[in-house]
Structure 1
Amino acid sequence: MIERIWSGRSVLWLLLWPLSILYGTVSTLIRLIYQHGWQKSWRAPVPVIVVGNITTGGNGKTPVVIWLVQQLHRRGLKVGVVSRGYGGKSEHYPLLVSTKTLTEQVGDEPILISQRTGAPVAVAPKRCDAVELLLSSQEIDIIVTDDGLQHYALQRDREIVVVDGLRRFGNGWWLPAGPMRERASRLHQVDAVIVNGGITANGEIAMSLRPSAAINLQTYQTAPLSTLKRVVAIAGIGYPPHFFNMLKQHGVIPVAEIAFADHHIYNEHELISLLSEEQILLMTEKDAVKCRHFPQHNWWYVPIDAELIGSVVGRLLDDIESLARRNIVAKLTKLTKSTVRK
């Protein structure tokens, strides 16, 4: 129902319009307050790159964060990642993600990013606290924030927005009448717009999500997607049809497709009840991190990699690397001058 409302196929959005105006007004005021310095924001001593979106969920933001961290690692930079940790509840924050960290503490995405990139990941409702924890725990050249485009308490050096190229902006209205966190005009103020699927406009970066071979949760055995039969597909992500459609495009025709809410917390019995012994449960990698403590022999997941296309990609990475290198040189120069004075 909500997708029908947000896409404009249902006139029920009119009932939510007053709340939408309220949301948009508050959102705009918050941004203006920080822009004019009426509320102080904090600048980290290293460059900060925000990867976010202007619509709610399911845009492909986390694969972009993973891609960006991996690309910066290849350029020799020490990258740290911060996240709000949506859905997590810990006794204390900030929290540094480790192999013992539970999704119940930090949510699913920080653990996924940590596992895929090997980068240090810190979680806190206030991202400034997460940045400070990272910087105090190890040497970091640059920070990438998973989401946080609207978190203006943390100053940023570059903003990257990920857009769902198929759904775009729906009816164009703010939440809850539409999918927008901010107006589409916000895209004119960011440094890069990455479009996941669909058709890109001039200046946008085209992105596709490429699945790897499926991985068994229990044995870590790999198998080509096309070899998996009698599949029950599940997805607890922002927009589950993305996952189901991708499976079909790569030769997997599920006997059932079951969508869960984004960040849904699974339990063993819930998932076992979905299929018979001869069937295979196939899930997203994001779902798999929540099932790693009770894997079954017939449970598999699909890792996803972001592929960005075009000459703009290289320029974007060069620009971000240059930011980090200049900051490193500036710190070394300051340290040298301080040593000479002594």
Structure 2
Amino acid sequence: MSWPVFWLKDDWRSRLLSPLAALVARVATKRYQRFKQAKLAADASQGLASPVGPLVLVVGNLVVGGSGKTPLISWLIPLLQAQGWRVGVIARGYASATRYQPERVTPNSDPDQVGDEPLMLAQTFDVPIVVCRERAAALAGLLAIEAVDIVISDDGLQHYGLARDLELVVFDASRPNAGIGNGRCLPAGPLREPLGRLQDIDFVLFNRSLSDVLYTPPAWLKGGPSCFNFQLQLGDAYALSKPNQTQKLTDFIGQPVYAVAGMGHPERFFAALTQAGLDIEPRAFSDHHPFTEQDFTCFDPTKPLLMTSKDAVKCQKFARSNWWVCPVEVNMADDFAASLLQAIRQDPRFVR
């Protein structure tokens, strides 16, 4: 979602809402403390016995809005599969019709039923994917259909009904203050939980812009968890109606093109296209917008149109021949993969 101006930097509106933000912070902290105490009690009762079931890795947000979680998950899946581990994914299926009954996502699923990002993953990877608003129910549903070694939870950091083994938090560093804006909790700011929650996080990743040649962790993270950087880079475009037909982004230079994005921070997509030298006419939609053919009736059909991968899965049925998809590639810090794999291999389920 796009942030209101007063989330970016403190002003009278954020200060006016600060009492409500303090209440949200207290409630969020108490919820996490209850979860933490229950986890400690469960670990104590288990004693030296090996954990059962798959390792659960949560990839989540501390703030509202997009941060680059799904491209990161697309990077994680082949990394974990390369180690010989069976991987599954659970998600809410944002803006989907799925409520409290787990539903498996297949490449032919309806995006209105399962959500755009889970469908995008299902069309890219041969792994079991289950969506449900209740993450614990999604996990149970996944394990009922296929045995896996590692389950990646797309978001779900604040869903404390879901037991987890590792937590990874992603920030969009292109937003003000390295992704936390004014640093206040909802509704005065973008934080879902206070920054103190990061002290128990295993890894923090900053999705920084390509223009950030040198990037250092922000002051508010000093003394916190392991911190790494990555960047999202646009790859060659492919035709939505003919995915085998590809074209370099530079081929679009010198002609006006539409740029369509229904995501949490569409300006980032537009900036990447502009940085690539394209003359774009940006059209931003709400995050997870349910695209229909009527959304494009006012577009000049002779102009090429570029869109994101997650928007493309909702436009396949009515795509025109000059609509192109811009997939992203993750440029990850070299040492993160080694650190994550080391943390996983320290778990008793993976000790050889």
**TM-score (normalizing by structure 1):** 0.88
1:187 corresponds to which of 195, 198, 206: 198
CA distance in 1 between partners of 2:345 and 2:141 (Å): 22
Partner-residue secondary structure (3-state), 1:117: coil
Q: Give, as a single letter, the amino acid of the residue that structure 1 aligns with 2:107.
A: T
Match of 2:123 in 1: 115
Q: Deviations over 1:35-66 (max 9, x none)?
A: 2339x999861110010110111211111111
Using the TM superposition, give the Cα deviation of residue 73 of structure 1 relative to its aligned residue in structure 2, in angstroms: 1.1
- Backbone CA RMSD of aligned residues: 2.4
- The ranges of structure 1 where at least 4 consecutive aligned residues each deviate by more than 3 angstroms after the TM superposition are 40-44
Residues 1:259 and 2:284 are matched in the alignment: yes
Tell whether the 8 Å contact from 2:100 to 2:133 is kept in structure 1 after alignment: no
> Which one is further off, 233-242 or 92-101?
92-101
Paired residue secondary structure (2:17): helix
* Offset of residue 242 of structure 1: 0.7
Q: Note the 1:1-342 alignment, pairs <5 A.
A: 2-8=3-9, 10-37=11-38, 45-90=53-98, 93-167=101-175, 168-197=179-208, 198=212, 199-201=215-217, 203-220=226-243, 221-228=245-252, 229-254=255-280, 256-273=281-298, 275-323=299-347, 326-327=348-349
Give, in angstroms, the shift of residue 116 of structure 1. Answer: 2.2
Taking structure 1 as reference, are residues 41 and 34 closer, same or farther at Cα in structure 2, changes over 3 Å only?
farther
Taking structure 1 as reference, are residues 181 and 134 closer, same or farther at Cα in structure 2, changes over 3 Å only? same
Provide the C-alpha distance between the structure 2 equivalents of 1:200 and 1:292, rounded to a whole number of angstroms. 40
Cα displacement (A) at 1:138: 1.5
C-alpha contact 1:81 1:146 (8 A) present in aligned 2:
yes
Cα distance in 2 between the residues matched to 1:91 and 1:227 = 43
Q: Cα 1:92–1:312, aligned 2, differ >3 Å: closer, same or farther? A: closer
Change (3 A) 1:37 1:178: same
Q: Please report how far the alpha carbon of residue 9 of structure 1 lies from its aligned counterpart in structure 2 after TM superposition.
A: 5.7
Structure 1 residue 161: Cα displacement? 0.7
Aligned residues with identical type, % of pairs: 37
- Secondary structure in 1 aligned to 2:197? helix
Structure 2: runs of 5+ lacking an equivalent: 44-50
Contact residue 232 and residue 279 of structure 1 kept, 8 A: yes
Paired residue secondary structure (1:36): helix
Task: Specify whether residues 92 and 5 from structure 1 end up closer, same or farther in structure 2 by C-alpha distance, changes over 3 A only.
Answer: closer
AA partner of residue 334 (structure 2): G
**Residues 317, 37 of structure 1: alpha-carbon distance in 2 compared, 3 angstrom cutoff:** closer
Q: Which amino acid aligns with 1:100?
A: N
Is the alpha carbon distance of 1:81 and 1:242 closer, same or farther for their aligned partners in structure 2, counting shifts above 3 Å? Answer: same
| TM-score, normalising length: structure 2 | 0.86
Q: Pick closer, same or farther for the CA change 1:41–1:129 going to 2, 3 Å.
A: farther
Amino acid at match of 1:27: A
| Cα displacement (A) at 1:179 | 0.7
Aligned residues: 326
How many Å separate the matches in 1 of 2:345 and 2:257? 43
Q: Aligned AA for 1:117?
A: F
SS of the aligned residue for 1:204 comes to strand
